[in-house]
Chains A and B, each alone.
Chain A
Amino acid sequence: MAKKTLKTAKEKSAFWNNFILIVICVIWLIPILGILITSFRPSEDIFRSGWWQVFPHKENVEVERIVLPESVDLDGPFEILGKTATFEEFRNTVELDDGRLISWYGNKRTRTAIVSERRWVGFATNLTLKNYSDVIGGKTISYKNAEGQTITRTGNNLGGAFLNSLAVTIPGTIIPILIAAFAAFGFAWLEFPGRNIIFTIIVALLVVPLQIALVPVLKDYVSMGLNGTFLGIWLAHTGFGLPLATYLLFNYISTIPRELLESSYIDGASNFTIFTKLILPLSVPALASFAIFQFLWLWNDYLVALVFLGEKNQTVTIAVASLVGEKGQDWHLMTSAAFVSMILPLLVFLGLQRYFVRGMMAGSVKG
């Protein structure tokens, strides 16, 4: 008896656990769903109705317009389709006995009433890939505006920005890992003066805000001609990523059993051989964790790219951000651009989540 109540109590709490979690998950997903749907809708539709209206729902649909003859006096009560009401009432919508609605179109002088009916809509929603082709392609788009002038706009060339982002992130991920692996090996296994103090400084640098470096480093870049170049941004990302990379890899590499290394030294292997033949292969899990971490951070970075690359070789984050700045109401472009910018990190993230979590755990130890 007691067991049974315990069991039902457990089932009950499981129900509530799931219920709360489902509610939270739905709230978490709705924002993404919103822009995903919007990115496939034609721009007129986006502006006319909310994205949730692509789902079948009941809506007031206009069925006819009635223009009242001049003989009807709008100042007193008058009749439309057998319903008598004043102008004010019609303007605030009047319901007919059969459920249809009558509302007024514009101001009084239009003499027009709109009859609408609640109907199911949203079964044949207009969806298009045009937003994506517009935003990815770099070609210029010409169109005539309302006054008949031809307006030419340069396309957003998000495709180019995508390539730039790859050019920033791939070396920007590999270079610091390579340099950090060498350094971590040096700190963990080689003796040299100042080792302790230098590593302590690296630990201190872990949480130094990179804002501190932007102004001085930019000054150096301008005088060296590195501003706006890929080399410049790789170096910057390397500099800002190295403390964490070195720290993580040090923690990992210093746990490799001492005997393993010593026997190799006895066999006459040099430090360099031991590093490339032994340490690197053994550290693959740690390298992979950091690589995913760094990749996502670089791909999503905005500040460093903004300062050191600027508009010249713009990355996807900069392209999307400038789209928001310039075309703040062009939701069809902004949503599809945002989605293009999200697709790669999402794939990497969902595919390699396990490694990412592992790296994050190791990184969070630092606080």
Chain B
Amino acid sequence: MSVVEAKAPTPDGNNRINKILTWFGTTLGQILVSIFVPAMTFLVLWQGYLFLQRAQAPQIVQVLVAIVWGVGGVALLYVVTNWLVMKLPKRASRVLQPFVFVGPAVAIMAWFLAIPVFRSLIASFRNYLGTEWVGFDNYIFAFTDPRMLETFRNNLLWLVFGTAFSVGLGLLIATLADRTRAEVIYKSIIFTPMAISFVGAGVIWKFIYTYKGTGVGIQEIGLLNAIVTALGGTPQPWLSLSPWNNFLLIIIMIWLQTGYAMVILSSAIKGVPAELLEAARIDGASEIKAFFSIIVPYIKGTLLTVTTTIVIFSLKTFDIVRVMTGGNNGTNVIANEFYLQSFTYNDAGKASAIAIVLLLLVTPIIFNNVRQFSKSRRGF
């Protein structure tokens, strides 16, 4: 991974070094170096790429090479492009330099997000292989097929109940914790699930919902069924009970997202002026009244932002459903149907139409963001 350095290794004095330096100073030398350095950079990066492609070294070596190559490569690319641009005449370099800075980011975002919007849009009007135009067929599927209607219903459940409970509980905990001495401990505990992957959370909750079947002497090992049995009920295969299984999955989302809502809302609540609350209390307002007539209006903006973030999250929910039920038994959601269409049924047309539907669902939020941004940055 070493960059070749143009150093004269000979000990026989200044004469030779001077000669080399003059040679580098000439235009021809400049051009040669300008070609040589990027070429070397490219070669080094290409070798690293091939090494990773072949994948024959022990895994740990591969991983280390991958890390050095990936991070070093990007840094090297910036240094070399900037160096090249600086070699150009002053005028040209001034015009081009901003693009050295923003160019890579813009190119990558264009490749990975902006252009795919249009590519998916085109693909959504073509057939499953992308070979023929099919008009609105894929959208007719997306909006009328019973499978899709089921996903819409479920996503609506996620959106309404998941968001309402995450935000509501987060607000409750933030408010209550604000008045206790052990605030930090409570908040850390509620916040911890945010570090856990949805897949990990899936295992955790699958174990809670697990069901062993009926028979003599069977002891349920899932917490939910154990509780039900202890209360005198009969154990149930919870995850296959439609439509209630949806709520069991939504509970997982609430468990994961309440911490997020709580932290953001908590800092907003701390911003409510103490005098305002004090004044209300002196006027004889109850705590509950003070909460609804002072705290809630004061943090309305934050409340809205948190709700929006969780709404977006609930629309895109995928991992939990994938791991817990695979979308079976009436628990399918839009993002999972997208996954099935594109990678299980290999229907690029339907998959793209579903992706566009997801995009349409978040479009109001996109417009709002852009409007807010241009308002806050007038004269940018």
1/0 per position for A198-215, CB-CB distance to B under 8 A? 111111111111111111
Q: Does A235 make an interface contact (CB < 8 A)?
A: yes
Question: Inter-chain contact count A-B, CB under 8 Å?
Answer: 327
- Distance between Cα atoms of A307 and B344 in the complex (Å): 11
Q: Does B335 make an interface contact (CB < 8 A)?
A: yes
1/0 per position for B54-87, CB-CB distance to A under 8 A? 0000011011001100110011001000100010
- Distance between Cα atoms of A236 and B191 in the complex (Å): 28
Task: Check B365–A207 contact: CB distance below 8 A.
Answer: yes
Task: Check B312–A207 contact: CB distance below 8 A.
Answer: yes
Q: Does A154 make an interface contact (CB < 8 A)?
A: no
Task: Check B176–A21 contact: CB distance below 8 A.
Answer: yes
Chain B nearest CB, measured from A43 CB (Å): 11
**B358 touches which of A35, A211, A231, A367 (Cβ 8 Å):** A211
Q: Does A68 make an interface contact (CB < 8 A)?
A: no
- Distance between Cα atoms of A225 and B308 in the complex (Å): 38
- Which parts of B334-356 form the interface with A (CB within 8 Å)? 335, 338-339, 342-343, 348, 351-352, 354-356
Task: Check B82–A272 contact: CB distance below 8 A.
Answer: yes
1/0 per position for B308-342, CB-CB distance to A under 8 A? 11001001101100110000000000010011001
- Which parts of A38-59 form the interface with B (CB within 8 Å)? 38, 46-52
Decide: A360 near B260, CB < 8 A? Known: A30-B223, A204-B369, A215-B120.
yes
Q: Does B244 make an interface contact (CB < 8 A)?
A: no
**B189 touches which of A25, A50, A299 (Cβ 8 Å):** A25
Chain B nearest CB, measured from A184 CB (Å): 8
Chain B nearest CB, measured from A321 CB (Å): 5
Q: Does B290 make an interface contact (CB < 8 A)?
A: no
Residues in chain B near residue A20, CB distance under 8 A: 176
Chain B nearest CB, measured from A306 CB (Å): 8
1/0 per position for A300-325, CB-CB distance to B under 8 A? 11110001000000000100110010
Task: Check B226–A346 contact: CB distance below 8 A.
Answer: no
Q: Does B102 make an interface contact (CB < 8 A)?
A: yes
- Distance between Cα atoms of A24 and B175 in the complex (Å): 14
Decide: A235 near B108, CB < 8 A? Known: A171-B70, A208-B366, A215-B352.
yes
Task: Check A106–B106 contact: CB distance below 8 A.
Answer: no
The number of chain B residues with a CB under 8 A from chain A is 115
Q: Does B104 make an interface contact (CB < 8 A)?
A: yes
Decide: A186 near B109, CB < 8 A? Known: A209-B359, A211-B335, A334-B203.
no
Which of B101, B348, B358 lies at the interface centre, i.e. has the most chain A CB atoms within 10 A of its CB? B101
Chain B nearest CB, measured from A89 CB (Å): 16
Decide: A31 near B186, CB < 8 A? Known: A204-B369, A216-B123.
no
Nearest A residue to B302 by beta-carbon distance? A364
Task: Check B102–A182 contact: CB distance below 8 A.
Answer: yes
Task: Check B369–A366 contact: CB distance below 8 A.
Answer: yes
- Distance between Cα atoms of A366 and B305 in the complex (Å): 8
Decide: A50 near B223, CB < 8 A? Known: A211-B355, A364-B264.
yes
1/0 per position for A317-352, CB-CB distance to B under 8 A? 100110010000001001101100110011011100
| 21 A-B pairs whose Cβ atoms sit less than 8 Å apart in the complex | A21-B182, A24-B190, A32-B193, A35-B207, A49-B221, A52-B223, A164-B59, A167-B66, A174-B74, A179-B104, A179-B105, A182-B101, A182-B102, A204-B369, A212-B356, A216-B120, A243-B113, A275-B101, A317-B200, A346-B195, A349-B194
Chain A residues at the B interface, C-beta cutoff of 8 Å: 13-14, 17-18, 20-21, 24-25, 28-32, 34-35, 38, 46-52, 106, 160, 163-164, 166-167, 170-171, 174-175, 178-180, 182-183, 185-187, 190-192, 195-196, 198-217, 220, 225, 229-231, 234-236, 238-240, 242-243, 246, 270-272, 275, 296, 299-303, 307, 317, 320-321, 324, 331, 334-335, 337-338, 341-342, 345-346, 348-350, 353, 357, 360-361, 364-367
